[in-house]
Structure 1
Amino acid sequence: MAIANPVKFIQEVRAEIAKVVWPTRREVVMTTIMVFIMAALTAVFFSLVDLLIRTGLQGVLSYFGS
Protein backbone atom coordinates (compact mmCIF):
# COMPACT_ATOMS: atom_id res chain seq x y z
CA MET A 1 0.00 0.00 0.00
CA ALA A 2 1.45 3.35 -1.06
CA ILE A 3 1.94 6.14 1.45
CA ALA A 4 -0.14 9.18 0.46
CA ASN A 5 1.55 12.55 0.20
CA PRO A 6 -0.57 15.01 2.25
CA VAL A 7 0.51 18.03 0.19
CA LYS A 8 -0.41 16.31 -3.07
CA PHE A 9 -3.72 15.20 -1.58
CA ILE A 10 -4.62 18.77 -0.59
CA GLN A 11 -3.68 20.03 -4.08
CA GLU A 12 -5.87 17.39 -5.69
CA VAL A 13 -8.78 18.21 -3.39
CA ARG A 14 -8.49 21.90 -4.26
CA ALA A 15 -8.38 21.05 -7.97
CA GLU A 16 -11.55 18.95 -7.65
CA ILE A 17 -13.36 21.61 -5.63
CA ALA A 18 -12.51 24.16 -8.33
CA LYS A 19 -14.42 21.97 -10.84
CA VAL A 20 -17.62 22.06 -8.80
CA VAL A 21 -20.43 24.15 -10.26
CA TRP A 22 -22.09 25.67 -7.23
CA PRO A 23 -25.83 26.45 -7.44
CA THR A 24 -27.02 30.02 -7.38
CA ARG A 25 -29.05 31.36 -4.49
CA ARG A 26 -32.18 31.32 -6.66
CA GLU A 27 -31.63 27.65 -7.57
CA VAL A 28 -31.22 26.72 -3.90
CA VAL A 29 -34.38 28.60 -2.91
CA MET A 30 -36.43 27.09 -5.76
CA THR A 31 -35.21 23.58 -4.99
CA THR A 32 -35.99 24.02 -1.29
CA ILE A 33 -39.50 25.25 -2.09
CA MET A 34 -40.07 22.27 -4.40
CA VAL A 35 -38.93 19.86 -1.68
CA PHE A 36 -41.41 21.36 0.80
CA ILE A 37 -44.23 21.23 -1.77
CA MET A 38 -43.51 17.60 -2.64
CA ALA A 39 -43.30 16.66 1.06
CA ALA A 40 -46.68 18.33 1.69
CA LEU A 41 -48.28 16.57 -1.31
CA THR A 42 -46.88 13.23 -0.15
CA ALA A 43 -48.22 13.80 3.37
CA VAL A 44 -51.69 14.63 1.99
CA PHE A 45 -51.64 11.58 -0.28
CA PHE A 46 -50.70 9.15 2.48
CA SER A 47 -53.22 10.75 4.86
CA LEU A 48 -55.98 10.16 2.31
CA VAL A 49 -54.84 6.58 1.69
CA ASP A 50 -54.76 5.97 5.44
CA LEU A 51 -58.26 7.40 5.82
CA LEU A 52 -59.56 5.24 2.96
CA ILE A 53 -58.01 2.05 4.33
CA ARG A 54 -59.18 2.81 7.88
CA THR A 55 -62.74 3.54 6.73
CA GLY A 56 -62.85 0.39 4.59
CA LEU A 57 -61.45 -1.79 7.35
CA GLN A 58 -63.91 -0.40 9.90
CA GLY A 59 -66.74 -1.10 7.46
CA VAL A 60 -65.62 -4.69 6.91
CA LEU A 61 -65.11 -5.30 10.64
CA SER A 62 -68.48 -3.80 11.56
CA TYR A 63 -70.18 -5.93 8.88
CA PHE A 64 -68.68 -9.18 10.14
CA GLY A 65 -68.43 -8.18 13.78
CA SER A 66 -71.16 -7.73 16.29
Structure 2
Amino acid sequence: MARTSPAKFVRQVRGEISRITWATRKDTLTSTITVLIMVVIASLFFFAADSIISILIQWLFGIFSF
Protein backbone atom coordinates (compact mmCIF):
# COMPACT_ATOMS: atom_id res chain seq x y z
CA MET A 1 0.00 0.00 0.00
CA ALA A 2 1.44 3.36 -1.02
CA ARG A 3 1.92 5.98 1.67
CA THR A 4 0.53 9.45 1.11
CA SER A 5 1.86 12.49 2.92
CA PRO A 6 -0.61 14.29 5.19
CA ALA A 7 -0.40 17.46 3.08
CA LYS A 8 -1.17 15.55 -0.13
CA PHE A 9 -4.05 13.77 1.61
CA VAL A 10 -5.57 17.11 2.71
CA ARG A 11 -5.25 18.48 -0.86
CA GLN A 12 -6.98 15.37 -2.23
CA VAL A 13 -9.78 15.66 0.32
CA ARG A 14 -10.33 19.33 -0.53
CA GLY A 15 -10.44 18.43 -4.22
CA GLU A 16 -13.03 15.73 -3.60
CA ILE A 17 -15.16 18.00 -1.41
CA SER A 18 -15.24 20.65 -4.14
CA ARG A 19 -16.75 18.06 -6.54
CA ILE A 20 -19.62 17.14 -4.25
CA THR A 21 -23.08 18.27 -5.34
CA TRP A 22 -24.68 19.42 -2.11
CA ALA A 23 -28.45 19.35 -1.65
CA THR A 24 -30.21 22.69 -1.71
CA ARG A 25 -31.87 24.05 1.40
CA LYS A 26 -35.28 23.38 -0.18
CA ASP A 27 -34.39 19.75 -0.97
CA THR A 28 -33.11 19.19 2.56
CA LEU A 29 -36.24 20.71 4.09
CA THR A 30 -38.52 18.67 1.82
CA SER A 31 -36.68 15.44 2.64
CA THR A 32 -36.76 16.20 6.37
CA ILE A 33 -40.50 16.87 6.36
CA THR A 34 -41.14 13.72 4.31
CA VAL A 35 -39.12 11.60 6.76
CA LEU A 36 -40.91 13.09 9.77
CA ILE A 37 -44.33 12.43 8.22
CA MET A 38 -43.37 8.83 7.40
CA VAL A 39 -42.07 8.31 10.96
CA VAL A 40 -45.38 9.53 12.38
CA ILE A 41 -47.36 7.27 10.01
CA ALA A 42 -45.19 4.25 10.80
CA SER A 43 -45.44 4.96 14.54
CA LEU A 44 -49.23 5.14 14.38
CA PHE A 45 -49.38 1.93 12.33
CA PHE A 46 -47.18 -0.03 14.73
CA PHE A 47 -49.03 1.39 17.75
CA ALA A 48 -52.35 0.26 16.25
CA ALA A 49 -50.98 -3.17 15.29
CA ASP A 50 -49.48 -3.65 18.76
CA SER A 51 -52.72 -2.60 20.43
CA ILE A 52 -54.81 -4.98 18.31
CA ILE A 53 -52.44 -7.90 18.92
CA SER A 54 -52.42 -7.14 22.66
CA ILE A 55 -56.23 -7.11 22.78
CA LEU A 56 -56.41 -10.39 20.85
CA ILE A 57 -53.91 -12.10 23.15
CA GLN A 58 -55.73 -10.88 26.26
CA TRP A 59 -59.00 -12.14 24.78
CA LEU A 60 -57.47 -15.54 23.99
CA PHE A 61 -56.02 -15.88 27.49
CA GLY A 62 -59.39 -14.87 28.90
CA ILE A 63 -61.09 -17.71 27.00
CA PHE A 64 -58.60 -20.36 28.08
CA SER A 65 -58.13 -19.29 31.70
CA PHE A 66 -59.64 -21.50 34.37
The one-letter amino acid paired with 1:22 is W
The one-letter amino acid paired with 1:32 is T
The alignment's C-alpha RMSD in Å is 1.1
Q: In structure 2, how many angstroms separate the alpha carbons of the residues matched to 1:39 and 1:57?
A: 27
Q: In structure 2, how many angstroms separate the alpha carbons of the residues matched to 1:54 and 1:2?
A: 60
Percent of paired sites with the same residue? 35
SS of residue matched to 2:36: helix
TM-score, reference length from structure 1: 0.91
Correspondence for 2:46:
46
Deviations along 1:4-55, one digit per CA (max 9) or x if unpaired, are 2111111100110011000000001000001100100110010011011001
SS of residue matched to 2:22: coil
Correspondence for 1:63:
63
Q: In structure 2, how many angstroms separate the alpha carbons of the residues matched to 1:10 and 1:53?
A: 56
**Structure 1 unmatched runs, 5+:** none
Equivalent pairs, count: 66
Compute the displacement of 1:3 (Å). 3.6
TM-score, reference length from structure 2: 0.91
Correspondence for 2:7:
7
Correspondence for 1:20:
20
